Amino acid sequence: DAGVIQSPRHEVTEMGQEVTLRCKPISGHNSLFWYRQTMMRGLELLIYFNNNVPIDDSGMPEDRFSAKMPNASFSTLKIQPSEPRDSAVYFCASSFRGSGNQPQHFGDGTRLSIL
């Protein structure tokens, strides 16, 4: 079975450019999470969706960050304009929220470098 698929795996761009990260969750999963990981701040939840609806975006750093989930099989995280402090590894994870508690499955991440 295919896991969570993220693209691109690596992104290097200049400050001020728009960056779009993409995620395809595991088929059948109804919850999707975007995380950012840095040495200083660890693994931080940015936003999560349940049934394609954003539930909690309190972790989104500022208005430069936005996330969408137009359907059950695709989500994007956009940074516009990008800044050097946005450099990090961004993970997408998905899970099934049913009657019980289920694990989150992580994609391989996007390593983002803003110059």
Partner 1 sequence: QQPVQSPQAVILREGEDAVINCSSSKALYSVHWYRQKHGEAPIFLMILLKGGEQKGHDKISASFNEKKQQSSLYLTASQLSYSGTYFCGTEDGSARQLTFGSGTQLTVLP
Enumerate binding residues for partner 1 (CB under 8 A): 33, 42-45, 48, 50, 55-56, 91, 97, 101-109
Alpha carbon 41 to its chain's center? 16
In the complex, least distance from residue 80 CB atom to partner 1, rounded to whole angstroms:
25
CA 103 to chain centre: 17
Nearer to partner 1, 46 or 79 (CB): 46
Whole-angstrom Cα distance, residue 56 to residue 23? 18
Task: Indicate the residue among 7 and 17 with the shorter CB distance to partner 1.
Answer: 7
Name residue 40's amino acid. M
Q: How far apart are CA 42 and CA 77, in angstroms?
A: 19
CB of 90 to partner 1, least distance (A): 11
Tokens of 13: 């761009």
Instruction: Supply the minimum distance, in Å, between the C-beta of residue 44 and partner 1.
Output: 8
Nearest-approach distance from CB 47 to partner 1, in angstroms: 9
Q: 3-class SS at 72?
A: coil
The residue (of 32 and 79) whose beta carbon lies closer to partner 1 is 32
